[in-house]
Amino acid sequence: MKKILVLFLAIPFISKAQHQDSIFIKQMSDDILLNGKAYDWLHHLTKNIGNRLTGSLAFYKAIDWGKKTLQEAGASNVILQECVVPHWIRGHNDAVSISSINSKKQDIQLQAIALGNSLAGKANAAVISLKSFDELEKRKDEVKGKIVFFNYAFNQTYVETFNAYGDAGKYRYIGASKAAQYGAIGCLVRSLSGSTDNFPHTGAMKYNDSFPKIPAVALGLQDANKLWKMCNDSKVAVSMCTHGKFLKDTIAYNVIGELKGSEHANEFITIGGHLDSWDVGEGAHDDGAGVVQTMEVLRVLTAMHYQPKHTIRFVLFANEENGLKGGVKYAEEAIAKKEKHLFALETDGGGFSPRGFSFKMNNDEQLKKVQSWLSLLQPYGTYKLEAGGGGADIGPLAGDQLKTPIAELSPDSQRYFDIHHTNNDVFETVNKREVLLGAVNMAALIYLIDKYGL
Amino acid sequence: MKKILVLFLAIPFISKAQHQDSIFIKQMSDDILLNGKAYDWLHHLTKNIGNRLTGSLAFYKAIDWGKKTLQEAGASNVILQECVVPHWIRGHNDAVSISSINSKKQDIQLQAIALGNSLAGKANAAVISLKSFDELEKRKDEVKGKIVFFNYAFNQTYVETFNAYGDAGKYRYIGASKAAQYGAIGCLVRSLSGSTDNFPHTGAMKYNDSFPKIPAVALGLQDANKLWKMCNDSKVAVSMCTHGKFLKDTIAYNVIGELKGSEHANEFITIGGHLDSWDVGEGAHDDGAGVVQTMEVLRVLTAMHYQPKHTIRFVLFANEENGLKGGVKYAEEAIAKKEKHLFALETDGGGFSPRGFSFKMNNDEQLKKVQSWLSLLQPYGTYKLEAGGGGADIGPLAGDQLKTPIAELSPDSQRYFDIHHTNNDVFETVNKREVLLGAVNMAALIYLIDKYGL
């Protein structure tokens, strides 16, 4: 494209009452796009600290860095909120290889990674390859002593990839125990992804205590396809070996920075992402991007000398990936202290170009109020302000006791599950402007909710 | 993010009359997302043919491949439309280095690339660094015998990066002659980009025949910043050397595949991208993505056994980057043959996640008609159906004689100018689902216009 374009700038209708808001939001946007620090912070978090599974040394480094950086970004005070967390370790590298039964060919190593929370185990057995749990039920008598391979593919016809993730997720989360129920001695699952590459994707699984805790491993998609084809062509044996174990529960911290409210200091707005990551890659999109976007909102409100009416809390949650103990603790303490929580916003969908927000409100009026601000957010990429969202870490705030309205940023989802929970979730896959634009939209929403309430 | 989400699917209101359309569009979407060939075609075009500047051997290979692939995609006939095109070559590699005057330090090589259409030249002189044409006017008496360096930065506060491109573009396009007007012997421009890396960006420039044709080169952004700082600190000399020249004009071809209209075979809808690229990288986003999206629309309409009312032409335009001779020829022939053109759609904004279309219509009614289809397109990512667009290659169709309504696909623009016209515009920067989703939206729009007219 060589043409020099000056695109028509759609100027949506805004009332006079919204004019001041649009000016302030534009000032925040300009400041973030010109002076934002999110990208530099993310570089430090990913390259100097790296991946940071709950309980790991890097995770504690991230807590120290998070505290220091929230102060640098302008928090009037930063506290560490203690919580007890699980401490799972992968142990050595996981290994999976296949060989045709009765063949003397060399073993074929597969791109494989043990699922998070899975335990050490070895299995060397024939594979039964299945498309679904339904097929498992039909063929349950064939499973005993074998390795079950669930090859349930991402449904590529979903335009929003989170729907494909939701659809396929149960095979990762409970597939191993489903298989163990019928006597399987190992479980392989197709990675939760629609990517074109072969990176295997880890992520949380959970054993059912009623059945043997068999090793559970995800395969890269190319190798999943290869194994599937080999299983269709002939009998196949797989050798698998994992080393996961839980150490003793340990202490971790949510890192909480505050901007004190000038009118309602005891009413809270929460904005946050999670500081932990899986033990692969650099946790750049998941959820380094959310962490630095949270800090960026704090930075820009401070730079604008904005005095919030309500106290805004910027929270780096602990242990989202394999326990959610940080999010649970945050809500428990809020309940114990009888805090009033006006709203909570989470950013944990990747640092991609923002497209809007997804809300879990208490009634239609709250959603309609937010939707009335659409024209203020549209210039920055937001066009969806819809029901259906939430967020794992802030989910407990929305429970029966606090009933806090919650929401999450909705970035473009096309690339997210290519890199999610893999060694490829690295800084280089994050685009500076995309992560900053997410922060622009978050800052605008937080500002409007602080100013107008819900 | 570990949570397994089933997001609320927003179901916009659609009339009964649109129900059949929504079903057909969903079928096309499913087929493209499951069976689309655009990504594989792009792999071939980028990896087996590579970059393909007009007149180059690779460009002719691309024409052969384009003809064959349009046939494979289902065109009832494919024609080559001859046009005369310029044949510019870069010659050897361009080189720019800086050294402090009177210093014996080693020269510093800069990441630099000659601008397209610029001519061979050597210059070794002091640098005058300028922010803008305004500053050039003020300091015109200082320019003689020097190398002018225009360091006009992308305005990062524009949310749509095409606006920053439009704003800064004149420094690349006419900067050299502006400088030569006052006696400069060489011109350096800051690359048209807001990226964080140091790739230099080429692209078309044009000499004013009234002034000497001095060498014109773009610098990578990091090196532009470095040179700017050095110029501020002390006097700096630069040595630059370019080798560009024009060979004799040559013959090229637009490649045109058709689906014959069943009711109005002599009324045409055009959809296209450009087959040529700059002589760097692989022309993956610019405009390989547009080429394969065009073919994908043809493929899916064929797979659906869709019989268009109007004849739909799928056009791979020649010579968009440095002459526009293909687009001009296409319109000239349409005028000469008194063809009736109902609509034309271009895709040349990168293969990123689609966000809508931008139109140049003849009246408000046409725009409103298209906007009435918004709910049919929204499920696939389109939310903007706005005025202001067009497209370089189809622009001549919209001229006074044919007055064809035209439009272009609007993909997310955040990453485009990071890679545009650089060695980094390669296949690996394209996401399969993003390029396919663009084709989904294009197929839907073309279907609706064919069915309902404008």
pLDDT tens, position by position, B333-372: 999 999 999 999 999 999 999 999 999 999 999 999 999 9
- Residue A18: the pLDDT is 81
pTM for the full predicted model? 0.95
Q: Which of A96-100, A398-402, A449-453 has the lowest average pLDDT?
A: A96-100
Residue of A nearest to B350 (CA): A1
Kindly indicate the confidence band of residue A99, based on its pLDDT and cuts at 50, 70 and 90: confident
Kindly indicate the confidence band of residue A106, based on its pLDDT and cuts at 50, 70 and 90: confident
Q: Is B91-243 in CATH node 3.40.50.150?
A: no
Q: Which CATH number fits domain A19-88+248-452: 3.20.20.70, 1.10.4080.10, 3.40.630.10, 1.20.210.10?
A: 3.40.630.10
What percent of chain A clears pLDDT 90, i.e. is strictly above it? 92
Residue of B nearest to A317 (CA): B1
- Residue B11: the pLDDT is 46
Residue A290 has pLDDT above 90, yes or no: yes
CA distance B330 to B66: 17
Give the β-pairing of B236-242 and B121-130. antiparallel
Residue B425 has pLDDT above 70, yes or no: yes
- Residue B100: the pLDDT is 63
Q: Nearest-CA distance from B63 to chain A in Å?
A: 18
Q: At what angle do helices B16-35 and B432-452 cross, to 10 degrees?
A: 150
Residue B118 has pLDDT above 70, yes or no: yes
Closest alpha carbon to B285 in B392, B418, B99? B418
Give the β-pairing of B147-150 and B121-130. parallel
| pLDDT tens per residue across span B37-56 | 999 999 999 999 999 999 99
Provide, as residue numbers in chain A, all residues whose Cβ is less than 8 Å from the Cβ of B392: 1-3
Provide, as residue numbers in chain B, all residues whose Cβ is less than 8 Å from the Cβ of A386: 8, 10
Residue located via tokens 């699980």: A86
Provide, as residue numbers in chain B, all residues whose Cβ is less than 8 Å from the Cβ of A163: 5-7, 9
Contact B392 A3 (CB under 8 A): yes
Average pLDDT over residues A30-56: 98
Q: Nearest-CA distance from A59 to chain B in Å?
A: 16
Contact A5 B437 (CB under 8 A): no
Q: Nearest-CA distance from B393 to chain A in Å?
A: 9
Residue A279 has pLDDT above 60, yes or no: yes
Residue A7 has pLDDT above 50, yes or no: no
Q: Which residue has the higher pLDDT, A12 or A76?
A: A76
CB B201 within 8 A of CB B224: no
* Edge-to-edge strand ranges of the sheet holding B310-317: B77-89, B245-259, B310-317, B264-274, B340-346, B406-411, B354-360, B384-387
CA distance A184 to A212: 9
Does B225 lie at the interface with A, CB-CB under 8 angstroms?
Answer: no
CB B328 within 8 A of CB B396: yes
- Residue B9: the pLDDT is 43
Type of residue at A402? L
Residue A117 has pLDDT above 60, yes or no: yes
Nearest to B7 among A9, A29, A162 (CB): A162
| pLDDT tens per residue across span B388-399 | 988 999 999 999
Count other Cβ atoms within 10 Å, centred on residue B399. 12
What percent of chain A clears pLDDT 70, i.e. is strictly above it? 95
Kindly indicate the confidence band of residue B14, based on its pLDDT and cuts at 50, 70 and 90: low
**B346-355: b or e for each residue (b if 16 or more CB lie within 10 Å)?**
bbbbbbbbbb
- Residue A1: the pLDDT is 53
| pLDDT tens per residue across span B297-317 | 999 999 999 999 999 999 999
Domain ranges of chain B: 16-88+248-452, 91-243
Average pLDDT over residues A261-281: 98
Contact B196 A287 (CB under 8 A): no
C-alpha A79: how far from its chain's center? 23
- Residue A61: the pLDDT is 98
DSSP state of B393: T
- CATH top-level class of B16-88+248-452: alpha beta
| pLDDT tens per residue across span B69-95 | 999 999 999 999 999 999 999 998 899
DSSP state of A76: S
Contacts of A1 (CB under 8 A, 6+ apart): B286, B287, B320, B348, B349, B392, B420
Contacts of B18 (CB under 8 A, 6+ apart): B373, B375, B376
Residue B204 has pLDDT above 80, yes or no: yes
Does A46 lie at the interface with B, CB-CB under 8 angstroms?
Answer: no
Provide, as residue numbers in chain B, all residues whose Cβ is less than 8 Å from the Cβ of A286: 1
